[in-house]
């Protein structure tokens, strides 16, 4: 089933065309990674997918469960964007507490998500008392709390060290599978895209120039399948591929 489709989507900021006739189809439950050079329009595409921007041409078509547009998507940005004066648990509860008073069940769900992400003993800590990786985990838990069918991630792990980044990639993969969440993930990092993606699309010249299906074997690093996936993406980006 196609979950979200961008059909011939174009977008221009004032005086600056960014996207030209983008075609993208997300299958339900897929993790789709988008790789491209800085400034090529990845964030703009995510905002169009979220309905935060409207296309100047083309359509964004929703084929997922019938929910209000703002309830369809969770968003995780590069910076965790947590509220400094709230505990980790209250940050996770924010999508609920902006609408109504959280129930005991909401709090139990927030605590369960924090525990799933290894933060059981940090629920009452404020963001300033957490490491960068822990703050990113809180941001991920916050995005997942309303159980959105679609999760949009804009380089969420870019600022993290390599070890924490790999841990969070595994956590994201596990959580997306457990919840059946469809994911659109923007990254500069080719290895991250190949590790996480069921599909990887390369963005260049305002459109998706290449799209690949990644075999499940590529989810183990240091396998030929992983190496081949990275080489394919490098080539599509016009980067040197070692022999």
Ligand X SMILES: Nc1ncnc2c1ncn2[C@@H]1O[C@H](COP(=O)(O)OP(=O)(O)OP(=O)(O)O)[C@@H](O)[C@H]1O
Q: Which stretch binds ligand X (CB under 6 A): 31-39, 59-67, 68-76, 131-139?
A: 31-39
Task: Give the separation between CA 37 and CA 189, rounded to whole angstroms.
Answer: 10
Is 36 a binding residue for ligand X by CB under 6 A? The answer is yes
Query: What angle do the packed helices 132-144 and 162-179 form, to 10 degrees?
Result: 10
Among 32, 42, 89, 165, binds ligand X (CB under 6 A): 42
Cβ–Cβ under 8 Å, residues 95 and 43: no
Task: Give the separation between CA 111 and CA 8, rounded to whole angstroms.
Answer: 42
**For ligand X, the closer CB: 13 or 177:** 13
**For ligand X, the closer CB: 18 or 144:** 18
H or E element at residue 106 = helix 104-116
Is 224 a binding residue for ligand X by CB under 6 A? The answer is no
Size of interface with ligand X, in residues (CB under 6 A)? 11
Is 156 a binding residue for ligand X by CB under 6 A? The answer is no
Residue 16 CB, nearest approach to ligand X (Å): 5
Two tokens at 62?
Answer: 């929703």
DSSP 103: P
- Provide φ and ψ at 4, rounded to 5°: -140, 135
Is 216 a binding residue for ligand X by CB under 6 A? The answer is no
Is 105 a binding residue for ligand X by CB under 6 A? The answer is no
Among 6, 9, 43, 90, binds ligand X (CB under 6 A): 43
Is 40 a binding residue for ligand X by CB under 6 A? The answer is yes
Q: Which stretch binds ligand X (CB under 6 A): 12-20, 116-124, 128-136, 159-167?
A: 12-20
Task: Give the separation between CA 179 and CA 181, rounded to whole angstroms.
Answer: 5
Residue corresponding to tokens 């929703």 = 62
Two tokens at 164?
Answer: 């924490």
Among 41, 102, 127, 156, binds ligand X (CB under 6 A): 41
- What residue ranges bind ligand X (CB under 6 A)? 13, 16, 18, 36, 38-44
């Amino acid at each position: 089933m196609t979950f979200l489709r961008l059909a011939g989507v174009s977008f221009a900021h004032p005086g600056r065309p960014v996207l030209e006739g983008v075609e993208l189809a997300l299958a339900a439950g897929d993790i789709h990674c988008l790789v491209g050079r800085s400034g090529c329009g990845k964030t703009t595409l995510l905002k169009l997918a979220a309905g935060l921007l409207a296309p100047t041409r083309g359509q964004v078509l929703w084929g997922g469960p019938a929910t209000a547009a703002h309830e369809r998507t969770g968003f995780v940005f590069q910076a965790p964007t947590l509220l400094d004066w709230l505990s980790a648990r209250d940050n996770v509860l924010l999508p609920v507490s902006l609408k109504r008073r959280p129930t005991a069940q909401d709090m139990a769900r927030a605590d369960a998500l924090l525990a799933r992400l290894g933060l059981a003993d940090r629920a009452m800590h404020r963001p300033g008392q957490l490491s960068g990786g822990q703050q990113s985990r809180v941001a991920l838990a916050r995005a997942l709390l309303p159980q959105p069918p679609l999760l949009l991630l804009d380089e969420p792990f870019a600022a993290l060290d390599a070890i924490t980044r790999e841990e969070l990639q595994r956590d994201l993969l596990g959580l997306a599978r457990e919840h059946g969440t469809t994911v659109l993930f923007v990254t500069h990092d080719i290895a991250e895209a190949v590790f996480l993606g069921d599909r990887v699309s390369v963005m260049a010249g305002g459109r998706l120039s290449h799209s690949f299906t990644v075999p499940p074997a590529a989810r183990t690093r240091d396998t030929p399948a992983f190496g081949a996936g990275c080489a394919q993406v490098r080539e599509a980006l016009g980067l040197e591929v070692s022999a």
